[in-house]
């Protein structure tokens, strides 16, 4: 057995305490010769996900158990956990959460509900997420998490479940949290969870697999609806109040229980030892979750780690706010107006050539000094399915024979790019930004074009952009060289809220003109 204690830029003496404990254990002679204890102390805080990815990647164990320093389990917990992996289909094994005695009453009520819910989910298909304080995983089924993952203890196990693995929930393993959070800390945690709840709908959308109806149901009815619950509650209150103001009986019927619930929550806020504190905890939780979801939608960077000294903000917060707001509004409007075209476009593609309707291709996304994000871009297919079988990745040309007849029309009108609105809503792309390049071309372009890498620092790639509406498609290195100049010019023009909004709206209208006049290629 190998134990790794990874300290992520700790400001307290955790690492030294661990070294002292290991020394004392070795001096006592109680350490088995097969036990390998390693303390990894990172001086800079990089965030939990980065440390998890590094530690699990470097390990070669068949079974990996993750646990928090602030949690405590029974001495036989590892043995209990390990026995579940005798079943080769089990990818994850976990236990039940137990709060410390000093936790708030509302937290106790919340976790009692959560534990009961996980039992029901496990009986139906699989528990939605695990307790991150102590759980085991089968390393062969694990894949590194995206660096911007917020709720790692949901995304990590559920991606393994989506791939066909099972989660074993052992209620006999109790995981006790030794560190009770204050009310303020709990609300901050819920803001992060709210952002993560919305993010994980997109990251784990493959769980909505209707060939596995039980799994799809527990995901949609639990985590799916939970992310939307704050907005549903606001809508219910406003619509009920509007009906009541119009004198509608149904309005009074619907408004009365809501007013009672919020009233009891208000009493609980002023009397924290009363039985009504559970209402207060629930309302505060939904409010914090809704706030976190809005922050995530607006592009705020939310993580469990402290600020990274290398995480430089290249786009100001007001500009990022304007950009993300416009992205969501524009993508929703475009989809609502053009979705009706998807069926005839799909029929035309299928009648014109053999192959899938949509085309997914890996592209390079937003960059930072520490990481590069990759994502799968979604488009309507415009080329034959064997377009690059013999040649490998190559740029398209003016009269490219690989492009289908329908594909040529879609490229001229740019309607092949409409499905990328889904990438925008998922936060992988922006409506306006630098062109997302293929990894196959990226290294070559980086080597040949000065400041090529910096064009996407702090900027998500776009469906359209200043370079795209000015210069059209790429056919060689010189075309890309000219576009890089436009990408940097665009980045310099979006330093404020209004300048960003004006630039992006202007480019969107220019793009519509290109589509209407068929100036694409």
Could you read off the pLDDT of 198-248 as tens digits, one per residue?
Answer: 999 989 999 998 899 999 999 999 888 988 999 999 999 999 999 999 999
**Where in the chain are the domains?**
2-222, 227-297, 317-517
What token pair was written down for 134?
């102590």
CB 160 within 8 A of CB 92: yes
Which CATH number, 3.40.50.720, 3.20.20.60, 3.40.50.1100, 3.90.550.10, labels domain 2-222? 3.90.550.10
Q: Is the pTM of this model over 0.75?
A: no
Neighbours of 252 (CB within 10 A): 13
| Distant-in-sequence, close-in-space partners of 483: CB < 8 Å, separation ≥ 6 | 434, 435, 467, 468, 471, 474
| DSSP assignment of 182-230 | PHHHHHHHHHHHHHHHHHHHHHTGGG--TTSHHHHHHIIIIIIHHHHHH
Burial 290-303 (b: 16+ CB within 10 A, else e): bbbbbbbbbbeebb
Beta bridge partners of 176: 72, 98
* For residue 474, pLDDT beyond 70: no
CB 196 within 8 A of CB 189: no
Task: Give dist(CA 188, CA 288) in Å, integer.
Answer: 8
Q: Are strands 430-432 and 462-464 parallel, antiparallel or unpaired?
A: parallel
* For residue 355, pLDDT beyond 80: yes
Mean pLDDT of the chain: 85
Q: What's the Cα-to-Cα distance from 114 to each of 288, 350, 380, 502, rounded to whole Å? A: 18, 47, 42, 46
Q: Are strands 90-98 and 166-177 parallel, antiparallel or unpaired?
A: parallel
CB 366 within 8 A of CB 459: yes
Q: % helix / strand / coil in the chain, to the nearest 5?
A: 55, 15, 30
pLDDT higher at 93 or 187: 93
pLDDT tier at 309, thresholds 50, 70, 90: very low
For the segment 379-396, what is each residue's pLDDT rounded down to a tens digit?
Answer: 999 888 777 666 666 656
């Amino acid at each position: 057995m190998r134990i790794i204690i990874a300290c992520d830029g700790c400001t307290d003496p955790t690492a030294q305490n661990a070294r002292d404990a290991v020394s004392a254990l070795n001096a006592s002679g109680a350490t088995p010769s097969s036990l390998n204890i390693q303390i990894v102390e990172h001086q800079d805080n990089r965030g939990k996900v980065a440390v998890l990815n590094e530690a699990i990647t470097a390990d070669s164990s068949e079974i990996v158990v993750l646990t928090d320093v602030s949690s405590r389990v029974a001495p036989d917990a590892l043995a209990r956990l390990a026995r579940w992996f005798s079943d080769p289909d089990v990818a994850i094994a976990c236990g039940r959460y137990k709060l410390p005695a000093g936790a708030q009453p509302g937290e106790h009520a919340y976790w009692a509900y959560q534990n009961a819910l996980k039992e029901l989910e496990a009986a139906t298909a699989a528990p939605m997420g695990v307790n991150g304080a102590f759980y085991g995983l089968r390393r062969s089924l694990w894949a590194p998490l995206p660096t911007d993952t917020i709720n790692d203890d949901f995304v990590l196990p559920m991606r393994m479940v989506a791939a066909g693995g099972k989660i074993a929930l052992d209620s006999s393993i109790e995981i006790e949290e030794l560190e009770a959070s204050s009310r303020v800390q709990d609300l901050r945690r819920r803001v992060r969870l709210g952002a993560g709840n919305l993010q994980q709908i997109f990251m784990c959308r493959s769980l909505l697999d209707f060939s596995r109806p039980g799994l799809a149901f527990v995901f949609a009815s639990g985590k799916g609806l939970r992310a939307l619950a704050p907005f549903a509650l606001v809508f219910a209150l406003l619509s009920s109040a509007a009906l009541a103001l119009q004198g509608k009986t149904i309005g009074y019927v619907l408004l009365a229980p809501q007013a009672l619930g919020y009233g009891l929550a208000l009493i609980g806020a002023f009397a924290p030892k009363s039985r009504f504190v559970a209402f207060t905890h629930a309302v505060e939780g939904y409010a914090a979750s809704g706030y976190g979801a809005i922050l995530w939608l607006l592009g705020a960077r939310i993580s469990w780690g402290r600020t990274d000294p290398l995480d430089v903000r290249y786009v100001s917060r007001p500009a990022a706010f304007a950009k993300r707001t416009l992205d969501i509004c524009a993508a929703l409007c475009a989809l609502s107006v053009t979705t009706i075209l998807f069926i005839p476009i799909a029929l035309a593609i299928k009648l014109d050539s053999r192959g899938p309707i949509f085309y997914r291709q890996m592209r390079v996304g937003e960059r930072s000094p520490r990481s590069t994000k990759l994502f799968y871009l979604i488009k309507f297919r415009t080329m034959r399915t064997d377009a690059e079988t013999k040649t490998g990745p190559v740029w398209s040309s003016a009269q490219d024979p690989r492009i289908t007849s329908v594909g040529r029309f879609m490229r001229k009108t740019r309607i092949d790019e409409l499905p990328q609105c889904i990438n925008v809503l998922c936060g992988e792309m922006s409506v306006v930004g630098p062109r997302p390049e293929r990894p196959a071309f990226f290294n070559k372009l980086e080597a040949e074009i000065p400041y090529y890498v910096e064009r996407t620092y702090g900027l998500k790639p776009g469906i359209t952009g200043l370079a795209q509406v000015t210069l059209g498609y790429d056919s060689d290195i010189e075309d890309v060289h000219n576009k890089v100049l436009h990408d940097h010019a665009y980045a310099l023009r979006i330093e404020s809220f209004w300048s960003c909004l004006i630039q992006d709206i202007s480019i969107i209208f220019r793009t519509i003109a290109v589509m209407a006049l068929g100036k694409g290629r």
